Amino acid sequence: MSDNRSMLSRAYDATWGRMFAAIYDRMLAASEEAGLRERRGRLLAEASGRTLELGAGTGVNVEHYPGAVTELILTEPFEPMAKHLRERVAASGREARVVVAPAEHLPVEDASIDTVTVTLVLCTVDDLAGTLAEVDRVLKPGGRLLFMEHVRSPDDERLARKQDRLERPWRFVGHGCRPNRDTVAAIEASPLELRELERGRTPKAPEITKPLAQGVAVKAG
């Protein structure tokens, strides 16, 4: 039974997953133009020092890292996405290391990173609490997590119920994306300390992925 499931999951990755990676930038283009790119820029302007991104995808954030970033490590577990990421990095002329790894198991030493960044990924990781514990492990004391994620609606119960109802089909279409994750509550329950939080809306996106949360969480120290 579990062999069948992993065969199905490999077939899904090899077909729709690969296609999803190929069309990802086009799927997001309208949202990026309508304000998402500006949000990314504002968030990532705060990155500094040794910086590690989780689930870097096709590399849409690469252009936004400021000069204060002294070393950039871009992690991404899905090879078809990592391929686009390497191409984006090469074209940018920016020094960055691409590492194929999931957010739950980062191949870096404890307390070695100044800034972790994550955008539109915590909806997709298999183990959200494990990912946040891993972020806490790799950050130096006082190091920061900069995040921008779409989340379960905090204030519109009708929309929140719709996000719950559509979780399964959306997860299939969105290559693992859960539209109803309460990511802010998960950060609050993690070892990190939530310091800044801004709520917003993803422009030109399907209604169930519109509620956005952006902010900063800090490792105690």
- Catalog residues that contact ligand SAM under the rule CB under 6 A: 54-57, 60, 76-78, 81, 102-104, 119-121, 124-126, 176
Closest to ligand SAM by CB, 28 or 184: 28
Per-residue buried b or exposed e for 152-171, using 16+ beta carbons within 10 Å of the residue's own CB: bbeeeeebbebbeebbeebb
Going by the DSSP 8-state scheme, the letter that residue 172 receives in this structure is: H
Q: To the nearest 10°, report the CA torsion of 58, 63, 67, 71.
A: 10
CA distance 214 to 184: 9
Kindly state the tokens that stand for 78: 């899905």
CA distance 176 to 24: 14
Shortest Cβ distance from residue 58 to ligand SAM (Å)? Answer: 7
Nearest 5°: phi and psi at 159?
Answer: -65, -40
Shortest Cβ distance from residue 107 to ligand SAM (Å)? Answer: 12
Shortest Cβ distance from residue 157 to ligand SAM (Å)? Answer: 26
Closest to ligand SAM by CB, 119 or 153: 119
Closest to ligand SAM by CB, 1 or 23: 23
- Which residues, 6 or more positions from 79, have their beta carbon under 8 angstroms from its beta carbon? 100
Closest to ligand SAM by CB, 1 or 74: 74
Is the separation of the CB atoms in 122 and 149 below 8 Å?
Answer: yes
Shortest Cβ distance from residue 75 to ligand SAM (Å)? Answer: 7
Shortest Cβ distance from residue 141 to ligand SAM (Å)? Answer: 24
Kindly state the tokens that stand for 33: 């133009």
Closest C-alpha among 108, 62, 113, 69 to residue 218: 113
Closest to ligand SAM by CB, 54 or 113: 54
Closest to ligand SAM by CB, 57 or 143: 57
Shortest Cβ distance from residue 151 to ligand SAM (Å)? Answer: 13
